[in-house]
Structure formats: C-alpha cells, structure tokens
Amino acid sequence: MHDMAAAPTNGSGSPTTTAAGAGPGRLLVASELLVDGRRIDCPAAALLAGDLRRRGAQADIAALRPADCGREAAVALVTSGDGELGLAIAAVDGDRALAAEVIGSWRSVAGPRTVLLASPRSFCAGVERAIEIVLRALETRRAPVYVRKQIVHNTHVVKDLERRGARFVDELDEVPDGATAVFSAHGVSPAVRAEASARGLDVLDGTCPLVTKVHAEARRYAGRGDTVVLIGHAGHEEVDGTMGEAPEATVLVENVEDVRRLEVTDVGKVSYLTQTTLAVDETAEVVDALRTRFPALREPASEDICYATTNRQDALRRVAADTDLVLVVGSQNSSNSVRLVELARRQGRPAHLIDSAADIRPEWLAGAATIGVSAGASAPSELVYEVIAALGGLGEVTVEERETVRESIHFGLPAALRDG
C-alpha cells in the first residue's frame, strides 16, 4: 500500500473545490477515483464516511475526479488481489488534516483478511411475515397505514417502510379512529387489542406465531392457578405483551439472582415461560435455578426460545472459536442480535454490534486477520454483504460460509391479506 501524489491544483494555483457542490467544511469520500484515465474502486467508502461522522464531520460519498484531489485531498492506495483499491477523502477549509488522519487510521489496518460467515443469519420467518404484512397493507389499505412500535427491531427496515409510506407510532392513541393499524412482530397485550377493537381500527396482526404460542401458554398456565414465571428482559415489547395476558399471575425474572429472591404463594404450582429471543446457555442456568427452588416446576411442552434465535447462536458459536473478531449486524434494541454479541464475548472473542458497515471502527481491525460475521434475525441480509464489501476495500477478502442448518420454515399471512 502507498500514498498517491495529490493531483495538481487548478490552473491558477488556487485550491480546487470539491465535487457535487460541496460547501465549506464538507468532506467527500470517494466511491471511486478517476485518475490518469483509470477508474480505481473505493469499496471502503462506508468505513471512512462512518468514521468522519463519528468525529462530527459532514461526509458524503461520491465519485472523485482528478480536480477534486488537489491540496485538500488525502489519498492512499491499497494493494488487493485484483489490483489497487483507493482510500480518498476530499476536503476544504482546513479539513484536510482530519481527512489525512482518517485515511491514515484505515490504511494502518489494511491488508488481506478471511471472513467466516455464520449461517443461518439475518431474517427469520417471523420477521419476513411481519414485514410482508406491512408491505401488503400499504398496497391494499387506504393510506396512511399505522404500525404500533417498530414492526421488527431494525432501524434500516423501519426507515425503508417509512419511505414507502408506513407511519410508526408508539401507542394506539396516535392512530385515528377507523384507520389501519399493524401490530409488531413482538406481540401486544389483550388490553391493546381491546383498545383497537373499541376504536374500530382495522387491525392486521404482525405478531410472530412463536410469540403467539407463548401468549397462549401464559393464559393456560394462569388459568390452572399457577404462578407463571416469565424469563425475559424487563421493558422489552415481547415481555410486556406476554405479561399482559395474566398480569396478576405472572412474575418476571432476568437471572439466577432473581430466582433466588422469588417468593410464590404455592411452591407446588409454578410454571415458567421464556422470551423467544434469549441466550440459550444463560436461560438454561435460570431454568436450572427454578427447578432447584421449585421441584414441581411445570415446563412448556417445547422450547419457547425460537428456532431462529437458537440456530443463529449455534452457527455463531461454531464460527467464533476460529476468529480474531466478531461483527454482528443488528440494531441496538434487537434482543437476539445483542445475545449474539454476548455469546461471542463469553467465548473470549472481541465482538461488536453494528447497524451497518459505517459503524465499524479501525481499531477493531488491528490484528484481526479472521473476522466472524453474523446478523440478527431482524437484520436484512444485504447489510451483511455490504460489510464484506467494505472490508474488501482494505485488501483482499476470502469468504468462508459455515452452515449449521438450513431453515425452511414459513409462516402464512393473516387471512385478510391472502390472495384470493
């Protein structure tokens, strides 16, 4: 890898301005460089732009011409198996020092890498169904279509649906009487359903069928007189909805210590449920503690932690042991994505949750020759490939996919949205 000499300034010797009408203090990150008749790809543009924005700069991505690479530009080339790749930022009004610093930080971690790609990853059947419900509603229902809470916990999915016309609200009181309202994949309490009915809302239920299963269990266990112990995370929408099925009979525990402090009316009538997106190994410890305290503990006929959560954890567990770093694509409020990061860290690997390639930091890549990559069940798969492409902008990347199981589960749409 090496620096590339900056292109000359304009004919008068004055500094050139950046492309696309950039104003003072604005930086342009090259998506490609056009130099001496050559087009040099710059796949790491998202990494550079994200770094600049974290430092408070305004950064846009665009193709840069020779005239843009004057005294204000910082440029370096990286050797790849297919030739050369560019790292370039054009800046004005004193920002070149920042541009040079950012270029230097990424150039210092450039080089060939291996990516171990965990499979399964990204969307599960419940997420696909919920998103499809919103898309069908936008096509078949009178605008606007309202969605209570985030349909799934991913910022990119929500922004995309907003661009298509969906309106996201926190509570139903923001939805006009008679309008279309979609419930999120995480489920709602009976009180929310009753409110929607009283308001005459046209409800489309995006609740994942596996969450619906847990709700049914909560009603059944409470109906037979049990104290229902729900293992989950306080404040999560799925937990709020499940507890709403039988609030007087349900208690929430998050860890083994909560189990030790738990007091119930009748130790012989206790059952448990779990949030569907928990860490399998940590949840097993909590269940073991419940069994120790309550020998007559009654359990679900099948695991409440969903197949997708379990599969993604199993896949990442196989990958993480052979990596120097793990990157999990997913949003901060995605429980199953956070659990993947925690799993990798429990295996002694540095791991980070990223919404997109722009969140990757250069210091994470120092000494990381092999990177494990996965994505939570609510993260679009294209974001994973964007991460791999961005890493490829720092040098040749070899991708090895490791598949533990192939998922074929599909959930049907509500009857009101089925064709025919």
Integer Cα distance of 186 and 207 in angstroms = 6
Integer Cα distance of 140 and 66 in angstroms = 50
Q: How many residues does the chain have?
A: 420
Active-site entry in 217, 237, 238, 245: 238
Integer Cα distance of 331 and 9 in angstroms = 43
Residue 407 phi/psi, 5-degree rounding, is -90, 135
Active site residue 238: yes
CB neighbour list of residue 289: distance below 8 Å, 6 or more residues apart? 256, 259, 260
Integer Cα distance of 252 and 218 in angstroms = 12
Residues within the annotated binding site for isopentenyl diphosphate? 153, 186, 236, 334-336, 378
Integer Cα distance of 151 and 146 in angstroms = 10
Asked if 357 contacts 382 with a C-beta cutoff of 8 angstroms, the reply is no
Residues within the annotated binding site? 124, 153, 186, 208, 236, 276, 306, 334-336, 378
Residues within the annotated binding site for dimethylallyl diphosphate? 153, 186, 236, 334-336, 378
Catalytic residues: 238
